[in-house]
Structure 1
Amino acid sequence: MRVLLFTGKGGVGKTTLAAATAALLAARGQRTLVVSTDPAHSLADALAVPLGAEPSPVDTALHAAHIDARALVDRSWPALRGHLGRFAAGLGLAALDAEELTVLPGVDELLALTEVARLARTGTWDVLVVDCGPTAETLRLLALPEAVASYLDRTRARLVADLRAAAAVAGELAEHLALLRSLLTDPTTTAVRLVLTPERLVAAETRRTLAALALRDVHVDAMIANRLVPRASRWRGPAAAWMRARRSEQDAVLSELDTGGLPLHRVEHVAHEPVGLAALRTIATELYGDTDPLACRPAGAPLLSIVADGPDHLLRVTLPLPDAAALGLARVGDDLAITIDGVRRVVALPVLLRKHTVTDAEADRTGLVVRFAPGQEDTP
């Protein structure tokens, strides 16, 4: 089973390209399921078929579904919330306070992602293509398994004996989230494809997204520049002059885009909105040509690596940092908190460095290098 996640800034055409990729894979004999976690629910419009929460056939080898996050919350969340509510009440909180405590932000996004994992685990498809929400929502979605699992691990350790039911539920959810995290960070199974339009603001956000996904250990295997103005070299007149000027601007934006070695595919704007399988397959053929849409760029260097430098050790954090990125670095016990343009991740330090002191840090476009000297742990 392969999982392809399509995301990008809102309005760049990620739904169309996800649907097009799924349509082409199915036409080439791959049993394919395409699902949407985007609340906009435009996948049905692109495929020109009605869709529900359960996979339904679109073509011989193609199925599709809309993941209804709110329905998942209504169905799955009350039982866990009841256990956590009893836990909170056992700590002496009033009933109203206990109710407020168990309204966890992001639970709908989390359940949508667990539904993706369930489909990947239980389905009979060769490929699962996911039309994710806009970039900000996707990054929050991908951060949730790790954040919630960490919280549950800490909470479970403090649960008292007479609340064994809550402890069991917390443990079960933590285990499930660990499996979800494993799926998302396995580059042999899962890859993200970033969709952008060739505009400077969109390109800048895409560079930040690359760094944020690398920080989450999520593998990006390609970028797709969508809606390029067709070349008008043989045309004449004011409209042709405008098209040439606009395409020149778009080419300049893409030439300045640092892809970090990722392949950059290009798709030209079409006169008619690509709706239905035939139109989607045409778009996909332009996107992939004769190549395999499942061809995946190998994973790069690991997020963390250690190199000895005399008595010191250098911790390399491999990230495609955008220019003028806002960076933050903090030592928190045995962890290192890394923040890039507001996206934060706390990573566990290798055992070798836990009794060392942070003495210096440097950054370039390929990542961070943190120097550790022998001694007791410190906070930079």
Structure 2
Amino acid sequence: MTEPPGSTRVLLVTGKGGVGKTTTAASMAVAAASSGHRVLVLSTDPAHSLGDVLDVDLPSARHWRSGTDVPVGVPGSPGGLTVLAVDHHTDVEADWDVVRDHLLRILEGLDVDPVIADELVTLPGADEVHALLTLALAVDSGDWDLVVVDCAPSAETLRLLTLPEILGWHLDRLLPAQRRLLTTLRPAAAAATGIPLPDREVLDVIGTWRRLMARCREVLTGPSASVRIVLTPERVVVAEARRLRSAFALHGYAVDEVVVNRVLPAGEDEWRSAWNRAQADGLTLIIESFDGIPVTVTPHVAGEPIGVAALAALADERSVLAGTPRALTDPVEVAVPRVTGAEDGFVLEQPIGLADAAAVRVQRRADDLIVSVGGDRRIIALPSALRRCVVENASVGSGMLTVRFVKDEEVWPHGR
């Protein structure tokens, strides 16, 4: 591996709880450091077992702005390997206090119970926001060639990765509305409506947070970031990994490798032979499920791989089962929604991974298209041309949701 030109590579390592994702993330980081890279391993898992795996005291960043000052080197590592945890006792909400106070004043004027009001204005996903901002700051610092993120189990990881778009969507709608109020309402009108006008500081904070969320989204969905799903060759685990792949596709995250962990070596005794047959079936299912994505295998080793030496040895044991793993210097291809012209309208194509038609729901709401895949949902802000159209139909096939729009003649006269 060689240093990615002009950018920090980001690997997000996740999977079902208990499959060995932390060990996998740590072994990847050790291998990269052994090749001369400056590597940061960042844990966003509230359980924080990363320190146990690396056999090091795991420092925590109590505030995202101090994130780059806290990491410590890993004793015994071959080079620039540092480690950091995002503490769940975060101070990130202090940055939100200006907006929070303004919202509380509005709710107080509406006679909302103070206890309920306080709950309503709490920053959503504060822990996840802290982790995202710490990651973005680490990338922008230029101090590392590679940031390996030991993510929480699947559900928590999805909540983390969808937050920049969701929070950004809400801020996009709050900021223009508040600016219009500030410029069009006079104090007398504000008094008549009972709505306190936001001051410049409130608007500045909202604008800053919108830019921060946009930067987080840019880092996570850019050509230098990818997700690696860790799983074991068991049907229940594979089923969750398939759903995870669909969710990542829906939200615009690239999965560039699947790591199959704890594969037992062949044996002649009845117990091991039975496991070998079951795992062989699981490996076949994995190859079929993740067609087009490289699959690597890590064998089940004798003893826990704890410490740098054991993790380096584990990385050396990994082999390729299918496809060609991507080098860190290779840009990642991210499948994004695409709009093309069609007769009397347009076609929007949204990647949805392995989801079938029965699991997909599409709803138009004002200027947004809401796409649900199973329990996951994405709000897609429609471009101006599609806002003047109506949805004709939708179909699912080959990992893609296709939505057909026809021009609304009331707002888009014929021939224009």
With structure 1 as the length reference, what TM-score do the two structures score? 0.89
Partner residue, 1:108: 127
CA distance in 2, matches of 1:231, 1:296: 35
Unaligned runs of 5+ in 2: 1-7, 61-69, 183-196, 412-416
Q: Does the 8 A contact of 1:214 with 1:319 survive in 2?
A: yes
Moved more, 21-30 or 368-377: 368-377
Change (3 A) 1:241 1:101: closer
Q: CA distance change for structure 1 residues 313 and 174 in 2, over 3 Å: closer, same or farther?
A: closer
Q: Tell me, yes or no, if structure 1 residue 179 matches structure 2 residue 191.
A: no
Instruction: In structure 1, list runs of 5 or more residues that go unmatched.
Output: none
Structure 2: distance between partners of 1:167 and 1:294: 40
Match of 1:242 among 250, 269, 274: 274
| Equivalence for 1:222 | 257
Alpha-carbon distance in structure 1 between the residues aligned to 2:241 and 2:325: 24
User: Are 1:119 and 2:138 matched, yes or no?
Assistant: yes
Q: Does 1:303 align with 2:334?
A: no
Q: Write the letter of the residue equivalent to 2:371.
A: I
Identify which of 246, 253, 270 aligns with 1:211: 246
Change (3 A) 1:288 1:239: closer
Distance between the aligned counterparts of 1:178 and 1:291, measured in 2?
Answer: 29
Which residue of structure 2 aligns with residue 55 of structure 1? 71
Equivalent pairs counted in the alignment come to 369
Find the aligned partners of 1:175 and 1:244 in 2 and give their Cα distance: 51
Q: Judging changes above 3 Å, is the alpha-carbon distance between structure 1 residues 226 and 166 closer, same or farther for their aligned structure 2 residues?
A: same
| Cα displacement (A) at 1:352 | 2.9
Judge conservation of contact 2:233–2:282 (CA < 8 Å) in 1: yes
* Cα 1:311/1:323, change in 2 over 3 Å: closer
One-letter identity of the residue aligned with 1:221: D
What is the distance in 1 between the residues matched to 2:169 and 2:155? Answer: 21
- Work out the CA distance in 2 between the residues paired with 1:249 and 1:78: 51
Q: Alignment partner for residue 25 of structure 1, among 32, 38, 53?
A: 32
- Evaluate the alpha carbon distance shift between residue 377 and residue 340 of structure 1 in structure 2; reply closer, same or farther with a 3 A threshold: farther
Tell me the residue number matched to 1:373.
406
Give the alignment of 1:1-380 within 5 angstroms: 1-53=8-60, 54-58=70-74, 59=77, 60-70=79-89, 72=90, 75-91=91-107, 92-93=109-110, 95-159=114-178, 161=182, 162-164=197-199, 165-186=201-222, 188-232=223-267, 236-255=268-287, 257-287=288-318, 294=328, 296=330, 298-299=332-333, 301-308=335-342, 310-323=343-356, 326-376=359-409
How far, CA to CA, are the matches of 2:12 and 2:105 in structure 1? 40
Partners of 1:109 and 1:258 in 2: how far apart? 30
Deviation at 1:82, TM superposition (A): 4.6
SS in structure 1 of the partner of residue 247 of structure 2 = helix
Aligned-CA RMSD value: 2.4
Q: Deviations over 1:275-312 (max 9, x none)?
A: 1111111121222689775254741543223242x334
Identity of aligned residues (%): 38
Question: Quick one: structure 1 residues 312 and 23, their matched pair in 2 at CA, closer, same or farther if it must change by over 3 Å?
Answer: same
